[in-house]
């Protein structure tokens, strides 16, 4: 009988197979299910589709695995762990700082970037010189384990510090409450603060609480197959510059912050933009361009002054040269509608002239540079990058090449010669800033996609990756 039992056990063991790993499930399913937050530092949907730094990064992972990407957004970081533990999401890509509280149930990936953590206050309300001066003043934080861990550590050394948890909002909501004097302080990471201060310019850093906090993706602890594949991808993305390019794409314009300029822009949004907004919207619809981008170009060119004239003779809201106006068949450059439609047509022309290998959003930045410095100088800068054995199709590389057009070593060898190449770099960064401010001011006017999941098709052609496409369920 004992021998029979041993044989039966051996037979059962031999006939049982281990369940497929999470990575195998993803590949068999044909989609990677990712939970994230709807925010400027993670994922959001614009008129031309999904975007955001976390989206770009995880989209690359899905492409590597040759599966579709299925995105689910939640309102609060505390909603992430249940989705991972239930298996409804395979991973989380939500700007999560590695923290002890989650590690009981969650494995973190290789850290792909770092952030600093700040205590934020409003300009003019009294900057604390030390944490002792924070005691007794209202602090509200998002109820995420990472921020909770930070405040709890502070309270160990400063027991008088009190705070309130917000279970339903996001960091953007609390930053807005600080800006409106509803609370004295909140906690925000540097990437969040750097974006939000461009449309809440009164926000300031009170105290730097932590530095170099690593951000990582999160996975269920019971199976690390998908995490290992993600780590390989993230290490390569860092090694080959993809992460640096994504960071520049979403945060490059935030490095230079002009308080006076942002405040002036916001005033003009209220007083001047309504005079011309309809023309920007109509031109954007006609030429397939986000009207806010056209408005940002117009502001950079003229501060939305229809009678603007430069010392070189360019005129109107979009500051068209006489030669450009002739090319566009525009009779009166000071007429707002003619100028805006002319500028939109000219910008759309630059977009079509660019090589197909330049993908969005870099394609837009290239076209803006061409609008400013001229398409031929842009070609020269691409030639410089080719001589340097660098990729000529990324805006990050272009920001290094354009200023070289002002150096004899380079412009003397190029067909179109000298150019003030630093100007288009500043020009593009300013427009990116204005555009993002306009986007976040006006985004609530548009009906957002409220799908529980947004499945993004990973479609490839012989020429390479096509634009992400949302497949509605």
The number of C-alpha atoms within 13 Å of 379 and in the hemisphere containing its C-beta is: 11
Contact 338, 332 (CB under 8 A): yes
Q: Pick from 429, 368, 382, 390: which is nearest to 410 by CA? A: 382
Active site (annotated) includes residue 281 = no
Query: 10 Å Cβ neighbour count for 359?
Result: 13
Task: State the burial class of residue 59 (Cβ atoms within 10 Å of its Cβ: 0-12, 13-18, 19+).
Answer: buried
Contact 275, 304 (CB under 8 A): yes
The distance from CA 166 to its chain's CA centroid, rounded to whole angstroms, is 24
Rounded distance between C-alpha atoms, residue 374 and residue 366, angstroms:
11
Residue 82 makes CB contacts below 8 A (sequence gap 6+) with none
Query: Which entry of 270, 301, 400, 445 is annotated as an active-site residue?
Result: 301
Element (H, E) at 31: strand 31-37
The distance from CA 203 to its chain's CA centroid, rounded to whole angstroms, is 20
Rounded distance between C-alpha atoms, residue 399 and residue 427, angstroms:
11
Q: Give bridge partners of residue 118 from the DSSP assignment.
A: 188, 208
Contact 415, 376 (CB under 8 A): yes
Query: 10 Å Cβ neighbour count for 357?
Result: 11
For 337, the token pair is 């509608």
Task: State the burial class of residue 300 (Cβ atoms within 10 Å of its Cβ: 0-12, 13-18, 19+).
Answer: buried
SS (H, E, C) 302-348: HCCCCCCECCCCCECCCCECHHHHHHCCCCCCCCHHHHHHHHHHHHH
Which ranges of 130-224 would DSSP assign to H, the alpha helix? Answer: 145-157, 171-179, 190-196
Annotated catalytic sites, by residue?
Answer: 301
């Amino acid at each position: 009988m004992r021998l029979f039992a041993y044989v039966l056990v051996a037979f059962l063991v031999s006939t049982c197979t281990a369940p497929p790993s999470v990575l195998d499930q993803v590949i068999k399913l044909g989609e990677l299910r990712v939970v994230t937050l709807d925010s400027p530092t993670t994922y959001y949907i614009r008129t031309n589709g999904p975007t955001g730094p976390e989206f770009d990064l995880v989209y690359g992972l899905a492409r590597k695995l040759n599966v579709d990407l299925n995105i689910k957004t939640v309102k609060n970081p505390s909603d992430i762990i249940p989705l991972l533990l239930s298996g409804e999401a395979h991973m989380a890509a939500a700007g999560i700082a590695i923290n002890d509280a989650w590690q009981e149930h969650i494995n973190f990936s290789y850290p792909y970037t770092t952030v600093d953590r700040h205590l934020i206050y409003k300009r003019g309300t009294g900057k604390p010189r030390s944490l002792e001066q924070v005691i007794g003043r209202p602090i509200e934080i998002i109820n995420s384990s990472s921020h909770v861990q930070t405040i709890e550590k502070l309270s160990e050394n400063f027991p008088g510090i009190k705070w309130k948890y917000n279970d339903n909002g996001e960091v953007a909501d609390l930053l807005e409450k600080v800006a409106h004097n509803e609370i004295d302080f909140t906690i925000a990471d540097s990437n969040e603060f750097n974006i939000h201060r461009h449309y809440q310019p009164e926000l300031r850093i009170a105290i730097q609480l932590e530095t170099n906090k690593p951000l990582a993706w999160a996975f269920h602890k019971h199976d690390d197959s998908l995490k290992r594949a993600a780590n390989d991808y993230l290490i390569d993305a860092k090694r080959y510059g993809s992460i640096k390019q994504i960071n520049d794409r979403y945060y490059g314009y935030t490095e230079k912050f002009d308080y006076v300029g942002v405040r002036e822009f916001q005033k003009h949004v209220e007083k001047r933009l309504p005079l011309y907004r309809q023309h920007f919207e109509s031109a954007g619809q006609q030429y397939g361009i986000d009207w806010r981008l056209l408005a940002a170009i117009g502001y950079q060119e003229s501060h939305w002054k229809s009678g603007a004239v430069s010392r070189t003779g360019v005129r109107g809201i979009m500051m068209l040269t006489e030669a450009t106006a002739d090319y566009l068949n525009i009779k009166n450059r000071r007429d707002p509608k003619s100028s805006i439609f002319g500028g939109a047509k000219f910008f759309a022309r630059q977009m079509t002239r660019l090589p197909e290998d330049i993908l969005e959003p870099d394609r837009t930045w290239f076209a803006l540079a061409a609008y400013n410095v001229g398409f031929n100088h842009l070609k020269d800068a691409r030639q410089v990058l080719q001589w340097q054995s660098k990729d000529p199709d990324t805006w990050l590389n272009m920001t290094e090449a354009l200023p070289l057009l002002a150096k004899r070593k380079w412009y003397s060898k190029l067909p179109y010669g000298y150019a003030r190449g630093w100007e288009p770099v500043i020009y593009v960064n300013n427009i990116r800033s204005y555009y993002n401010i306009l986007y976040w001011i006006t985004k609530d006017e548009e009906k957002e996609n409220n799908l529980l999941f947004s499945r993004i098709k990973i479609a490839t052609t012989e020429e390479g990756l096509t634009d992400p496409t949302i497949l509605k369920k």
